[in-house]
Amino acid sequence: MQTVTLNNGVKMPIIGFGVYQIPDADECEHAVYEALMAGYRLIDTAAGYLNEEAVGRAIKRSGLSREELFITTKLWIQDAGYESAKLAFSKSLKKLQLDYLDLYLIHQPFGDYYGAWRAMEELYREGRIKAIGVSNFLPDRLMDLIVHNEIVPAVNQVETHPFYQQIESAAFMKEQGVQHQSWAPFAEGLGNMFSNEVLDAIGKKYSKSVAQVILRWLVQRNIVVIPKSVRKERIIENIDIFDFELSPEDMKLISDLDTGKTHFLSYHDPKFAKMLGTLRVDL
């Protein structure tokens, strides 16, 4: 498995398996198990996904050694804060049936994420987390966090796909030593991504699917990616991207698809910030 090296020396698989929107416990456990059997070693979950326990069962069922795995989960907004973050971390660890996490992320840039970050810095120093990072932080908030804290986030997980390529944000993260990670690499199919003529033509050139072309494009940009599927054949297909390389010409064709706009909700929208900030999840 190809890896990236984080700013603290920890190696992270460049492709992993995401479990967002797999709330059914049995389905989630089965999908994660199939992913582990297919060769994925990075599993990405979150307290807010409400499926950490299913992920934990799949990990145990796999029989793989803990050292082979790279497990990520995330802190939800309602648990942002120093004391609450520590409690939330312990709950997540218990649900996952693990002794430590490889990566712990602040899920959203809202609430008392400064208090949460101080708690995470302590947990990191204690060795209970191998790396700490953030998710959905725009460059201004990321810089603010870096300037006013001791540890620079190892990872920033943000929406990244051919229609929203995060070119400027990617360059900024690279300058700061923060690893770029993509969520929604397929934009959940929005914009007819899977039938896009450019992506389809490139796929046919390499005898690969549109999904494989997108994942390969991200990997060649050195962006960690976490595709999700509950179908065994798609799970296997999505990790089969290391036997071809997109040409510079094809990379340029894909770069021309960028709209520079989110396909979901804007973090500049105060209504969205209020909605997330007041949302309470039964964790």
- Of the candidates 97, 123, 95, which has an alpha carbon nearest to the alpha carbon of residue 105? 123
Contact 75, 101 (CB under 8 A): no
Identity of residue 143: M
Selecting among 49, 104, 124, 267, the annotated active-site residue is 49
Active site residue 49: yes
- Three-class SS of residue 65? coil
Q: How far is the C-alpha of 136 from the C-alpha of 107, rounded, in Å?
A: 7
Q: How far is the C-alpha of 86 from the C-alpha of 80, rounded, in Å?
A: 9
Q: Which residues pair with 70 in a beta bridge?
A: 42
DSSP string across 224-251: EE----SSHHHHHHHH--SS----HHHH
- Eight-state DSSP code of residue 89: H
- Three-class SS of residue 148? coil
Contact 245, 27 (CB under 8 A): no
State how far Cα 89 lies from the chain centre. Answer: 18
The residues annotated as belonging to the active site are: 49
